[in-house]
Structure 1
Amino acid sequence: MEKYQSISAIRNTNRSWPDKGITQAPQWCSVDLRDGNQALVNPMSPEQKLKFFKMLVNVGFREIEICFPSASKADYDFTRKLIDEGHIPRDVTVQILTQARKHLIEKSFDALRGAKRAVIHLYNSTSPAQREIVFRKSKKEIIDLAVDGAMMVRECAQKHDGEIVLEYSPESFSQTEVAFASEICSAVVEAWAPEEDEQVIINLPSTVEVASPHVFADQIEYMHRTIAQRDRVILSVHTHNDRGCAVAAAELAQLAGAQRVEGTLFGNGERTGNADLITMALNCFSQGIDPKLSLTDLAYIEKVYSECTEMSVSPRHPYAGELVFTAFSGSHQDAISKGLANYNEKGGVWNVPYLPIDPGDIGRSYEAIIRINSQSGKGGSAYILEQFYGFKVPKEMGPELGAAIQRCADEKGAELLHSEIYECFRKEFINLSGGCSLVSIENQPKTRHNTDKPHGVNVKATVIIDGQSREISGSGNGTIDAFTRALKTIAIDVKVLSYSEHSLSEGSQAGAAAYMCVQRGDGVSRFGVGVDTDITTASVKALVSAINRP
């Protein structure tokens, strides 16, 4: 493996960032309309860019990098469109990118005419590979290029009718010697000479992510400690995802002193993309930190994103993916359903297994939390039947329910819809007829000898046994006891093992559900479910259903 070489770690025996925690959200800057847009197969049209811009404003972004106006007529015209048509709210700062060349800087300022506040993002590349191979310039020449660019921006800013903030990026910072990166950034700050109430943004990009996040954090902490006029510098990071660690690197960078994060929605951007600001913001939210962004309708954000970029969000994408709050595993389903029940009963701090945040807080439906396939268990089916159909299946009935649903899933060979789960439950358990069918039942109070006080009941019922109608009667302590005694008269011997009931809906016409487990004469125990407007009739139907189940 001599072809590749690891990035040298910084010798930092006094690093402090590992002992810190994120306590507040950073300043967010969306670069979707520039960095994300330039990485699209089909760049956004002006109409799509405007729609995306308005969505970013609605979500709460107050710094938005909109384009590279000196690089193309389309970007220049879009900048003018935003300003001339009044699309930029007073509390939103637009940011544009430019190289450190006089004619490009002047054209950038011309594009910004009338902007009340804007960030001019100046950059040049600083890594050894860029200096030596691409530009063939010395360190001093690279510093001079950056300083000259800053002074040209300062000169144009003095003529601009509005506030201009300088942002400087040593492109390829992650591959630049940290001492040199500090030197060039300090030279830019000193050249700009920020006044007491003025700040310069120094943006440190991992233009190519080449090391683990802890190495990037060490680089940021070095800059945080050594850069000139640190109190007048906003330290910003712009991480890329070449190693899949852009979010982690940006979060560790905050521990190391970064105050601002540039990134994109859902991590769009060149190559593997940038830091995903949706993930970062909701990481804050999950820790009880106000993300300073409104993410209560993530579906809306995803819809606009997909329409404008023609890209889709992965079903496994953190927080936003279709499946990230979904459990197919039986043990996960059981834990989630119990956790939700506990939270609904007690409230307080969110503490539901497998769900880092409440899906409802980002506009997600609870319908998708538990989904059933052949890998699912009894708990998931019971949850769906209760949440969406009102059936509170007893815990003891779980194994029979799970087996029935699994058979249906195996037969279909795919995920079961909620309606299919209910239909399987109905066919397998509810109001079953077959070998024994209930036609009618009537109960009358039974009285003790020589007293008018009722004691127990008499029942008269009409049942169909193997196709033949039979009239039966019996007496007992209650309707079920009397009915089981009546069944014995026609050689159907059953013993009730458990029973529960509940109302299915509110109101005078409410339905009732009863669940009964009986041991039949053959020694087999089965659950049955009865549904009726009358709870007594529902319980008898549950017993008959249990008799008829295979």
Structure 2
Amino acid sequence: MTSSDRVIIFDTTLRDGEQSPGASMTKEEKLRIAKALERMRVDVIEAGFAIASPGDFEAVKAIADTIKDSTVCSLSRALDGDIERAAEALAGANSGRIHTFIATSPIHMQHKLRMQPDQVVEQAVRAVKKARNLCADVEFSCEDAGRSEIDFLCRIVEAAIDAGARTINIPDTVGYAIPHEYAELISQLINRVPNADKAIFSVHCHNDLGLAVANSLAAVVAGARQVECTINGLGERAGNAALEEIVMAIKTRHDLLGVHTNIDTPHILSVSRMVSGITGFPVQPNKAIVGANAFAHESGIHQDGVLKHRETYEIMSAQDVGWHTNRMVLGKLSGRSAFRSRLVELGIEMANETELNAAFARFKDLADKKSEIFDEDLQALVSETLSQDTPEFYKLVSLEVASKTGEVPHAHLVLSIDGKEVATDDQGSGPVDATFKAIEKVAQSGATLLLYSVNAITEGTDSQGEVTVRLERGGRMVNGNGADTDIVIASAKAYLNALNLMHMGTARAHPQVDGV
């Protein structure tokens, strides 16, 4: 295969994925995901939007300073301040990229930018040149390209390439395109832009009509050689093209597509679960590739066929994406060495012995509650351990809940608030409702509960329940996560985790910001 046969995988989970309302990640969580993406051999990691906030800047900088095998990218508008901030964050990168963009559709130019087409081209060229003077690798995006006029796209793309952009992204920003239409757009640009051979054409598709993956693959057939995507299809509104679906479609249908990626696919499942656990966005069971039912067969005819010959009903191997490969089940007799070894296999690195010891202690506590500890348990356990690195203004000391037929459920808690123990109790429509009301009686946070989600981490009645709580106050949101074999305790942990994040000032505004 030649380089022209390779599709570059550009992962934007840490930037566009985080724009999902409530999917906020800490710097440490972003770094964990970035390391996992690097291990999976993702070509480009879009680490964030450096100008957006001090937190985003620090996250991009930390990832740029750490990641060595993948290109680290920062998004920027076509503005001097954005580009300078991106370059500053990427200064320590082994391989860095500035990704600058400006809107090109008539509706965006008129109503958002309030600029004439000539002004937009001029600003795009100025931005690309400035970025190119600060960073050798520059990508230029035509925001809302899917609704832009082809003649204007040809003009601005040619100018951006002349200015030094070596990747040109043609995003379907609002998920409006249909596959054959989108493929024709990419084909026309490649054929009509005189200097198209000097750049790689990229696509970034949103899933508003459920066509993000289909549009991306159609664009690849038309000549695009970079696909921008996210783990689990995470992203604002209906999400983005799912990395796992793009990669496995290319691998499974090489006979038709004739291209390949560098992705080490057996890591797909573990990275999917890591992202799900950190963001609190569970993967639905029937999700392609990484859903719990993706390789399950209940129909007798299907089961019989698979047992006789796997390919009768399975078009790819479950092991190829990480299902049941080197699966080690741990228990209470497992030692520190086995625990550490499995974390390494899952791509989880603990910063120091203190973190490892804390995680191992939680592992032993969990092993006393359930007989077998699975990979999913370890992901949740590590996430919870690392979340404790931040100061806990609110901490659960004890919880007692009474729920009886014909009686109003009642919760009694002892909380540690800034180091001082406080007892509280309340009633509610159920044990979780009573618990939350009891917490709020003393916390008086003034927050509104936007989401309460429960997900069983593994199978069986002794499974840990993973709870996500989303709180909003003053237009700012936080996600809190908690896991425990007792779902009420997990719920209390999640609520208190959200309150702690809110207390620390890590709540972020609704993330529908400019972007591609």
Q: Distance in 2 between matches of 1:236 and 1:171?
A: 12
Conservation of the 8 A alpha-carbon contact between 1:25 and 1:284: no
- Unaligned stretches of 5+ in structure 1? 1-22, 158-162, 193-198, 341-351, 367-416, 419-550
Query: Percent identical across equivalent pairs?
Result: 31
CA 1:94–1:247 in structure 2 vs 1: closer, same or farther (change >3 Å)?
A: same
Q: Deviations over 1:453-490 (max 9, x none)?
A: xxxxxxxxxxxxxxxxxxxxxxxxxxxxxxxxxxxxxx
Q: Distance in 2 between matches of 1:67 and 1:201?
A: 18
Superposition misfits of 4+ residues, deviation over 4 angstroms: none
1:169 to 2:118 alignment: no
Q: Distance in 1 between matches of 2:286 and 2:200?
A: 34
In the other structure, the counterpart of 1:303 is: 273
Q: Deviations over 1:286-312 (max 9, x none)?
A: 235654211214432222112221111
Please, which of 278, 288, 313 is the counterpart of residue 354 of structure 1? 313
Please, which of 78, 88, 106 is the counterpart of residue 84 of structure 2? 106
Conservation of the 8 A alpha-carbon contact between 2:230 and 2:241: yes
Conservation of the 8 A alpha-carbon contact between 2:47 and 2:63: no
In the other structure, the counterpart of 1:364 is: 323
Q: Distance in 1 between matches of 2:9 and 2:23?
A: 26
Quote how far apart the aligned CAs of 1:359 are.
Answer: 1.7
Conservation of the 8 A alpha-carbon contact between 1:40 and 1:309: no
Q: How does 1:370-449 map to 2 (within 5 A)?
A: none
TM-score of the aligned structures, taking structure 2 as reference length:
0.59
In the other structure, the counterpart of 2:237 is: 271
Q: Deviations over 1:317-339 (max 9, x none)?
A: 11211112112122222222222
- Unaligned stretches of 5+ in structure 2? 326-458, 461-516
Quote how far apart the aligned CAs of 1:79 are.
Answer: 2.4
SS of 2:168's partner is strand
CA 1:330–1:115 in structure 2 vs 1: closer, same or farther (change >3 Å)?
A: closer
Quote how far apart the aligned CAs of 1:184 are.
Answer: 0.8
CA 1:25–1:316 in structure 2 vs 1: closer, same or farther (change >3 Å)?
A: farther
Conservation of the 8 A alpha-carbon contact between 1:282 and 1:291: no
The RMSD of aligned alpha carbons is: 2.2
The structure whose Rg is larger is 1
Quote how far apart the aligned CAs of 1:267 are.
Answer: 0.7
Q: Deviations over 1:3-57 (max 9, x none)?
A: xxxxxxxxxxxxxxxxxxxx94411110111110122404001111011011101
Q: Distance in 2 between matches of 1:227 and 1:353?
A: 45
Please, which of 178, 190, 197 is the counterpart of residue 231 of structure 1? 197
Quote how far apart the aligned CAs of 1:67 are.
Answer: 0.7
1:244 to 2:210 alignment: yes
CA 1:267–1:107 in structure 2 vs 1: closer, same or farther (change >3 Å)?
A: same
In the other structure, the counterpart of 2:418 is: none
Q: Distance in 1 between matches of 2:136 and 2:94?
A: 8
Matched to 2:80, the amino acid is K
In the other structure, the counterpart of 1:87 is: 66
1:313 to 2:283 alignment: yes
1:33 to 2:39 alignment: no
Conservation of the 8 A alpha-carbon contact between 2:177 and 2:215: no
Conservation of the 8 A alpha-carbon contact between 2:207 and 2:241: yes
Q: Distance in 1 between matches of 2:175 and 2:51?
A: 27
Quote how far apart the aligned CAs of 1:164 are.
Answer: 2.0
Quote how far apart the aligned CAs of 1:178 are.
Answer: 1.1
Please, which of 18, 21, 28 is the counterpart of residue 47 of structure 1? 28
Conservation of the 8 A alpha-carbon contact between 1:117 and 1:164: no
Matched to 2:271, the amino acid is I
In the other structure, the counterpart of 2:247 is: 281
Q: Report the number of matched residues.
A: 321
